[in-house]
Structure 1
Amino acid sequence: MSTGCWRPFAVSPPKWPATPDRRLRRMSRGKKWLWRLFLLGFVVLVTMGLWLPPIITHAVEKDYHFSEVEIDATVLPNGDMVLEETRTFDFQNGPFTYAYFNVDDPLDHVRDFSIAEKLDDGSEVAVTPDYASHSIVTEGFQAQWSYQAEDETRTWVFRYRVACAVDVYTDTAHLYWQFIGSGWDVPTEHALITVHLPDAPSMGLFSPRQECNPDDRLAGALGSLALERGDVRAFGHGPLNGEVTFVDPQTIRYDVSDVPARSYVEGSILFPPEFVPAALETNQPGLERILDQERVWADEANALRERHEAERSWVLYLLIGVPVALALLVLLARYRDRVPDVPKVLEQPPEDDPVQGSLLWSAWQGHLSPQNAYRAQVLKLASLGAIEMKADGRVTDPKDLTLVRKVDAMDLQTEVDQDFMWLLFGRGDDMVDEISVKHPKPRRADASGTYSAWWSGVKSKSSGITRRIQKGDARLESTLAAIIAIGAAGYGIWTAVWGLGGPIGWWLVPVSALSLIVALIKIHARLGIEDRRRVKRLEAFRTYLKDFSDLPNAPALAVIIWEQYLEWAVALDVADEVEKQVRALVPVESLRSPIRGAPSGLAGVTAWHYFQTTAPTIVVASIASASSGSSSGGFGSSSSFSGFSGGGFSGGGGGGGGGTGGGAG
């Protein structure tokens, strides 16, 4: 008959009612996961505009865009303009069988239209359009042609002449033309537009037009008087990233990338009227009016450009500043949580029970888990002589490891130790003397009650500190972290959707969310001084276990730690670090077994690894027959410009002549 205090055996029903403590733990864990899932869902939803449309488009939807558009426009002395437009279609998820090309032409001024396909070797093949004519319904020129294309790029060249494209005033000639119109419903990756102005003909070679007859062709010889620097002013309207440059005084180039669908690229060019002597003239001045309007548009574009740069700069600042600010809040929280009278390193365990230490430390790290508590409890029972480990088979490579019960549970001094012994080896008729580490057998349904008793007992001895850590009150640092992160994410969404910062603003959302998650994990609950002292003492002893190899007399310390403090290394989740240091300082063959009864030397280290891996499995198997309702604790570990220099686009305009559009299908 064993001696010791006796506690009656109570048969528990298969389903255990949830205790208030268990409900609190579940609520706390549930709130944490709900908060994390909310942040994840928030990131997914607000960044959907970035990743979802391209995925759908590229995966299933029939689509195309223009990878390159080159337009070469030549102004003639009679005010007509000859255009050669080369468009590269990038087809995806075809098939495509037709396309159409439109020019906004209410006065029916488009003539000499033709289509050719440009092959890979640079040669051209003429294309006969299905139709190409002016439409009184749409007040524009329309052309359509047929082909077969699927998942490939094809390039077509459109050539045509527009009559009376230049407006001639008494003091200036003005080419105001929409080279890319808003009729294209797909984007253009890059567009390059080159405009050539004519030389001035000799006097008397041309007579001015009296009316605009598109069928009249230019007759006469061109002169040799060329434009000089300062004679021409050029402006660009459209996307603010566009650039206007002068190749020479008679050649203006517009270069723009990422032209959105339904957008336009427009040129406005002023030059002396004598260079288009055969053009239709008006008897009114126009220079000052046009320049005044361009100044207004340029000022508006510059203001938008400055706002764009400011918003973009703020995004870049916040992308760096949010993680830095939240890291500083983490440091502030740790500074406020310091306990001056606790040293940085403690060489002795700060508490008597490593099982409770494991529970407290895992709660402080933000993931209350009994896994290391299982291991620490088994090692504690081994150090008390209550259990031993036996190797079956060869010592160096055992087939199995067995835990052997050496004393009765009632011989142990604490109820927690007794409950764990019953959990491992059973109780009453279900009690066994040995259990296999590799092949543990399930206990009866009442084992879940024993597990609950052990888990509750471990937590009750922590004096409520784990509950205070988990529950935790909102503190200054975590509140500020949430305000900063949510504010930055909101600004990123605003500038990407409604502002001018562009898509880069979306990056603030995941950066802010991830920074906030990390900060909330690192910023612990604000505890009282006694609770903080207890945690900091555990942290100081953990530091000692992690870094003892740097201390004097490290080999002797390694032996002491391996033989006496290994359960604390397990409890504080530094067992692997301790083992590496011990093996580096002490010959493995001389190491005693860390578990009573297990082999020594290398075989003992092997047995230790096996125990580390399988110890939680033993507990899980012990309550495997319990119903799902009884589980608890959890398992698991435009600027404008003039002259010859060039400049950027302005955002105004939109009223120029021309304006192309079209589509494919």
Structure 2
Amino acid sequence: MRIRISNALAVVAATAALALSCLFSAPVVARADGFDMHSVNIFATVLEDGRMLVSESRTFDFDDDVNGVFWTIPLGENQQGHPTSLEQVSVRATENDQQVNYQLVDSANNGDTGVYTVENDGDRVTIKVFSPHESGEQGSFMVSYIINGAVMAWSDTAELYWKFVGDGWTEPSHDVTLTLGFSGEAHDIYGSDGSVESKDWSSDELSDLGVRAWGHGPLDATVQVGDMGDPVARFTVPRVDSGEYAEARLVFPVSWVPDLQVSSSARLETILDEEAAWAEEANARREEARRMVAAATVLSVGSAAVLLVAAVGLRLTVFKSPKPMFQDTYYRDVPSDDHPAVISAFMCDGDVGDAAFVATLMKLTDERVIELVCQTRQKRGLFGSKDEDSYSIRLVDRARATGPIDIDALDLYFGPGAQNGEEVRFDGVRANADEDSDAYGERLDGFKASVGAAIEMRGLLRDSSHAFGLTVVVLAVVIGVASLFATIELETSVLALLAACAMAIAAAAVAATARRYTREDVELRARCLALKRWLEDFTRLGEAVPQDLILWNKLLVMAVALGVSDKVLRDLADAVPRDMRQDELGGFYYPVYWWCYPHGSLGSPTRDLSSTYGAISAAALTASANSSSGGFGGGFSGGGGGGVGGGGGGTF
């Protein structure tokens, strides 16, 4: 119904904000199905004969039960046409913070543990590590081997050309680090006394020797040469996706591999030309990426800013309710002939709350359909009996209730088919609602539907801004999701993401809370506000009660519908001279006054009944629930691909 549109928009806006906040709190890179490799550390040492000792450590987080993990390392030829090979493969695992050596076996079965197999089919070497793990567990493994063919000696330089992460891994490799060192001359300094010390290379020293390094693969990876102590170079890659690779290329003096056969061909100029071309291509791609990042940042922040400005501007101009003609401070009459529950819901933008229900029962009391009763009964306890007061309502003349709102209110409190003379305590209703929440939920829906239908028939709360609000909310969600996508895929600034989403959410809130009511709506609202103001200021103004007590009684009911406090209600009742409202025995001439005062040891009956309505709403809700920062670094290029090694792996 139309009276629910504003609430629906508010819910949509809140949902959008919640969805965006949930997206903010989600990790930028989600864990893949099966396993996640969040740490990869590779240490490689080039030996004097050109072979390379490799130790690769990977930490796996398993999302499924596995029997183990495996590596595949391709075999082929290097740039000199020499075949590559692997030897001295070993495996270690970290178990209970201890390094455990696994045993090489010829064959193993799923379920075995602490063993590994090495299979060479001529094209590749497959290393299978048998170590069963359950979903949610973590495993750390180190595979060590010596690879032949990754290093080549030319007439003018020596070259390392090696894929240290291959494109065959089934899931991304995160936080990859390759630390590269050398043995022999590149590593040791021999003193005159025969002592040997490790050589700490500076970047300038290595540059003078002609040592240069390049990386191929993800453009956000970096290469460092020298200034690290013993290692000569370090390659750092934040992430290598499945299907991608990371490759290292290094040129260095031939004297560092004295036992490696030297080719008669020169190679250095070719290497430098290739790397220069690939670096130029990579820089062009980085520049294009920077432009894309800048454009995406401007687009996300700019579109959010435009949306916010447009939402504010339209709300202040086009989607603005007309100014009421009634401008008086006070209004001293019932604002309209509408039912008190209708007035209450109207002032709450269609929400049928406890004030609507209490005002309805007060109205029925004033019309002598029901009567409010304060009972005193004895309650037995561990230390004897004691008197206990409680409120109840007695059905006096059901036939007097003719309107659908009144009938549904009686059904909600007493139950369908209640007969005259039946009496139900407030606490009894609360207990029954807990026991039969489905039935009370249906009756509560019926009462709210009757009030909503009356508002609809009167043509009230016909907000013409709901399409505007819904459109802005949808656009805000689109901008927020697009900005998050740009942050993940293009690595735009997180600050830009937060700014764009903050402005988008603000625009959604501005639009979702916009109201453009009819002239009748704004006039009725102005009279209701003026009446509530007069009732709250009545005792301070020192005005006399109107001579028409029938009208005054209706105003007492209207005061509850408009949400005045219990104290104000008592003050309004006290404003009527005692002899005009009470007889000599303390009874009230007009039964509605029973609602204005506390009785016995009890508090205000209006507050107590409001709690009862809240208990019904809570029970109905239970029943319903039961049913239902960025940028790109330097160092790597996108070329290459000619290095040996690579391969991949996964789980089995």
The answer, yes or no, to whether TM exceeds 0.5 is yes
How far does residue 508 in structure 1 lie from its aligned partner after superposition?
A: 11
- CA RMSD, 1 decimal: 6.0
Counterpart Cα distance in 2 of 1:579 and 1:93: 61
Counterpart Cα distance in 2 of 1:297 and 1:425: 78
Aligned residue pairs total 560
Counterpart Cα distance in 2 of 1:503 and 1:403: 64
Letter in 1 for 2:86: R
Counterpart Cα distance in 1 of 2:234 and 2:607: 72
Is 1:196 the equivalent of 2:187?
no
Counterpart Cα distance in 2 of 1:504 and 1:262: 31
Is 1:481 the equivalent of 2:472?
yes
Given that 1:193 and 1:254 are in contact with CA atoms closer than 8 Å, whether structure 2 keeps it comes out as yes
Tell me which residue corresponds to 2:270: 286
Counterpart Cα distance in 2 of 1:306 and 1:604: 72
Tell me which residue corresponds to 2:420: 432
**Structure 2 vs 1, CA of residues 304 and 418 (structure 1 numbering), >3 Å: closer, same or farther?**
closer
Given that 1:375 and 1:616 are in contact with CA atoms closer than 8 Å, whether structure 2 keeps it comes out as no
Question: 1:609 pairs with 607, 610, 616, which one?
Answer: 607
How far does residue 265 in structure 1 lie from its aligned partner after superposition?
A: 2.3
Is 1:243 the equivalent of 2:222?
yes
Counterpart Cα distance in 2 of 1:418 and 1:226: 92
**Structure 2 vs 1, CA of residues 160 and 222 (structure 1 numbering), >3 Å: closer, same or farther?**
farther
Alpha-carbon deviations, 1:417-458, whole Å to 9, x = none? 9979998999xx9872664354689xxxxxx9xx99999799
How far does residue 179 in structure 1 lie from its aligned partner after superposition?
A: 0.7
Q: Secondary structure at the match of 2:266?
A: coil
Letter in 1 for 2:645: G
Counterpart Cα distance in 1 of 2:371 and 2:465: 46
Question: 1:402 pairs with 375, 388, 393, which one?
Answer: 393
Question: 1:100 pairs with 70, 74, 92, which one?
Answer: 70
How far does residue 71 in structure 1 lie from its aligned partner after superposition?
A: 0.7
Question: 1:142 pairs with 114, 126, 129, which one?
Answer: 126
Tell me which residue corresponds to 1:369: 352
Given that 1:102 and 1:661 are in contact with CA atoms closer than 8 Å, whether structure 2 keeps it comes out as yes
Counterpart Cα distance in 2 of 1:461 and 1:65: 57
Tell me which residue corresponds to 2:594: 597
**Equivalent pairs: percent with the same residue?**
20
Given that 1:392 and 1:400 are in contact with CA atoms closer than 8 Å, whether structure 2 keeps it comes out as yes
Tell me which residue corresponds to 1:265: 246
Tell me which residue corresponds to 2:143: 158
| Superposition pairs of residues 119-138 of structure 1, within 5 angstroms | 119=94, 120-130=96-106, 131-136=117-122
Counterpart Cα distance in 2 of 1:164 and 1:417: 90
How far does residue 380 in structure 1 lie from its aligned partner after superposition?
A: 3.4
Counterpart Cα distance in 1 of 2:132 and 2:412: 74
Q: Secondary structure at the match of 1:248?
A: coil
Given that 2:37 and 2:172 are in contact with CA atoms closer than 8 Å, whether structure 1 keeps it comes out as yes
Given that 2:150 and 2:160 are in contact with CA atoms closer than 8 Å, whether structure 1 keeps it comes out as yes
Is 1:253 the equivalent of 2:241?
no
Counterpart Cα distance in 1 of 2:609 and 2:220: 65
Given that 1:401 and 1:607 are in contact with CA atoms closer than 8 Å, whether structure 2 keeps it comes out as no
Alpha-carbon deviations, 1:610-640, whole Å to 9, x = none? 3224469999xxxxxxxxxxxxxxxxxx999
**Structure 2 vs 1, CA of residues 296 and 434 (structure 1 numbering), >3 Å: closer, same or farther?**
same
**Structure 2 vs 1, CA of residues 463 and 162 (structure 1 numbering), >3 Å: closer, same or farther?**
closer
Question: 2:57 pairs with 86, 90, 96, which one?
Answer: 86
Tell me which residue corresponds to 1:213: none
Counterpart Cα distance in 1 of 2:407 and 2:648: 81
How far does residue 541 in structure 1 lie from its aligned partner after superposition?
A: 5.4
Tell me which residue corresponds to 1:662: 649
Given that 1:297 and 1:653 are in contact with CA atoms closer than 8 Å, whether structure 2 keeps it comes out as no
- Runs of 5+ unmatched residues, structure 1: 1-24, 203-220, 442-447, 620-637, 642-646
Counterpart Cα distance in 1 of 2:279 and 2:248: 15
Given that 1:39 and 1:513 are in contact with CA atoms closer than 8 Å, whether structure 2 keeps it comes out as no
Given that 2:466 and 2:512 are in contact with CA atoms closer than 8 Å, whether structure 1 keeps it comes out as no
| Superposition pairs of residues 498-517 of structure 1, within 5 angstroms | none
Q: Tell me the TM-score normalized by structure 2.
A: 0.65
| Superposition pairs of residues 165-564 of structure 1, within 5 angstroms | 165-168=150-153, 172-197=157-182, 228-230=205-207, 231-248=210-227, 251-272=232-253, 275-276=256-257, 278=260, 280-281=262-263, 282-284=265-267, 285-303=269-287, 305-306=289-290, 309-310=293-294, 313=297, 317=301, 328=312, 332=316, 336-337=320-321, 339=323, 346-348=329-331, 351-353=334-336, 356=339, 358-359=341-342, 362-363=345-346, 365-367=348-350, 369=352, 372-382=355-365, 388-393=371-376, 397-403=388-394, 405=396, 409=400, 432=420, 435-438=423-426, 464-466=458-460, 469-470=461-462, 472-474=463-465, 477-478=468-469, 481-482=472-473, 484-485=475-476, 487-489=478-480, 491-492=482-483, 495=486, 521-524=512-515, 526-539=516-529
Q: Secondary structure at the match of 1:605?
A: coil
How far does residue 406 in structure 1 lie from its aligned partner after superposition?
A: 8.6
How far does residue 115 in structure 1 lie from its aligned partner after superposition?
A: 1.4
Letter in 2 for 1:491: A
How far does residue 72 in structure 1 lie from its aligned partner after superposition?
A: 0.7
**Structure 2 vs 1, CA of residues 652 and 568 (structure 1 numbering), >3 Å: closer, same or farther?**
farther
Question: 2:36 pairs with 65, 74, 77, which one?
Answer: 65
